[in-house]
Structure 1
């Protein structure tokens, strides 16, 4: 738009009706949001930009499409952009992604987030799990020093499934029998004294040494001190894994023996249960995503919508968790 066109446009603005001014304001706001999203997307892609088809880094610019720079791979000839091969590929409404990331950092429900950014609830649900698919993987690689481990159980849920493997039950229902059974899913959480936390959906039913062997060895040091409650699976696992183990007898009212306690991991369980409660039951197949979401909030490594959008594209904060 040249100078004369701009002057004419300014004069015409005063002739707009109230409704037209609201629509114009929305268009300008969406345009600014679109620009902000495109900037974050392009910046995040530059660090690891490559052809998703052949993984070559030999490419050249090839025009624009949908406000994004396109590239053409020299070896294979395929075209791609900054979103190709990422969880956000083929999604629309880029101008609303930052606003939606803000809803996730505020732990909004699917419907509340949909209302906030003005999308359908199904779109809101799809975006939730696309945003979490990579962001939830930003976890500690190894726990050090003293690590506390404890398990919690949540009711198995097939919410949203078209083909149930058991009779349907009402939301907030109960297990078919008392105590811990295969109607429950075991969530194992291990946390060291620096706050680094790993968690696993270890499967239905009670915790066993086999579940501990399948989860813990890759994420704990050989010289670690594992502290747990009195569950019999932990000492057997520790002996077979060749690591030190101490237990506290919570049933006898012994909550701590000096530095030997599980209060940190129990506090994390409490925060996790309280945070999950407003979702009114989480489908078991999506439970790892919710555990990752809770870790994002608890670790406070991702504090802004821009950081969450970058993490969704695989660009995590520079200070890595070790």
Structure 2
């Protein structure tokens, strides 16, 4: 059929159908073009210091032809490379969340959904992909973001723990207790082994450390394993009155300010733990939308929220591109089976 015939048929459509057709082409062509632009940015970021083999880290790499990728509107050629040391071939997307993606034009839409914090089923409905596929996409991105780190805290460091109910959401034949409905609640009062401890430390420059460190009350050994490489004697530590914090601060020789749980004394000059408590509040509020998260994935969700808190939950072209580029900066070899069969072992 000639283009002129297609145009004539479009003119004969109702105004409503013409508007729907316009939206279809705008979304399809726009998303495909934007996605390819982000793929180009990923390539430039990875190769700014020269080509490096993703398998053996050798720089003795040559370009090795092109490979084709089908999009919703056409077929695109991208560069392939070959390492002269190990002999393996790779691309700019190898060992990134975008590796072997069959629907590249939908990735930016999915990133938008992640910034909005949508559920998998709602994202699947908006994007037009199966929610199991999006589960895999989500955790590949979060596996990469979990690797983002910093070297040392500066100045005053606020530290406090918060707790999430231990969850085996998605697991069949749970042993030792009845399955809970939509998160549920613990059968024990207070802090128990049914609770998973999440440690959050944050300095005044907003460098943030958040990680699960075990079940039940926090202990000094867990603090040392988690933070020994990030604290120095130049830091001033602000915590609540839990004895593990006091013992740890004394052991490493760091200046320490304690604030009791009764809330009567919240501030000592410039020292307080209000920033970290505010972070806890925002984290808990954001996590409620998921109706409970499987504990084995909890660190992923902590990394997700930490990234969103950094970009202030703003969804625009800059933050969408930043999320893709940051996640593609780290090696990801996670498979669906590795995710599904993983266990919480702390």
TM norm structure 1 = 0.87
* Shift, 1:170, TM fit: 2.0
The residue correspondences of 1:74-223 to structure 2 (distance < 5 A) are 74-162=84-172, 164-167=174-177, 168-223=179-234
Q: 5+ residue gaps in structure 1?
A: 1-7, 316-322
Residue by residue over 1:223-251, the C-alpha shift from the partner in whole angstroms, topping out at 9 and shown as x without a partner, is 21111111111111111112111101231
Confirm or deny that 1:11 pairs with 2:4: yes
* Of 52, 55, 62, the match for 1:53: 55
Q: 5+ residue gaps in structure 2?
A: 70-75, 331-346
Counterpart of 1:43 in structure 2 is: 44
- Equivalent pair of 2:197/2:213 in contact (CA under 8 Å): yes
Residue by residue over 1:261-283, the C-alpha shift from the partner in whole angstroms, topping out at 9 and shown as x without a partner, is 11111011011111111111111
Residue by residue over 1:114-171, the C-alpha shift from the partner in whole angstroms, topping out at 9 and shown as x without a partner, is 2221111111111111112112332332111111110000101111234634422222
Confirm or deny that 1:279 pairs with 2:290: yes
* Of 207, 228, 244, the match for 2:239: 228
Alpha-carbon distance change, 205 to 59 in structure 1, aligned in 2, over 3 angstroms: same
Counterpart of 2:335 in structure 1 is: none
CA distance in 2, matches of 1:85, 1:214: 28
- Equivalent pair of 1:181/1:206 in contact (CA under 8 Å): yes
Counterpart of 1:260 in structure 2 is: 271
Alpha-carbon distance change, 15 to 289 in structure 1, aligned in 2, over 3 angstroms: same
Counterpart of 1:291 in structure 2 is: 302
Alpha-carbon distance change, 60 to 229 in structure 1, aligned in 2, over 3 angstroms: same
CA distance in 1, matches of 2:128, 2:290: 20
SS in 2 for 1:199: strand
- Equivalent pair of 1:40/1:309 in contact (CA under 8 Å): no
CA distance in 1, matches of 2:139, 2:242: 34
* Shift, 1:61, TM fit: 3.0
CA distance in 2, matches of 1:9, 1:72: 43
CA distance in 2, matches of 1:278, 1:133: 21
Residue by residue over 1:264-306, the C-alpha shift from the partner in whole angstroms, topping out at 9 and shown as x without a partner, is 1101101111111111111111111111111111122895211
Residue by residue over 1:60-118, the C-alpha shift from the partner in whole angstroms, topping out at 9 and shown as x without a partner, is 23122323221222333322111112233223201111111121122222122222211
SS in 1 for 2:196: strand
Counterpart of 2:324 in structure 1 is: 309
TM norm structure 2 = 0.81
- Equivalent pair of 2:159/2:273 in contact (CA under 8 Å): yes
- Equivalent pair of 2:167/2:183 in contact (CA under 8 Å): no
Alpha-carbon distance change, 30 to 215 in structure 1, aligned in 2, over 3 angstroms: closer
CA distance in 2, matches of 1:128, 1:184: 25
CA distance in 1, matches of 2:254, 2:142: 33
- Equivalent pair of 1:248/1:260 in contact (CA under 8 Å): no
Matched pairs, number: 308
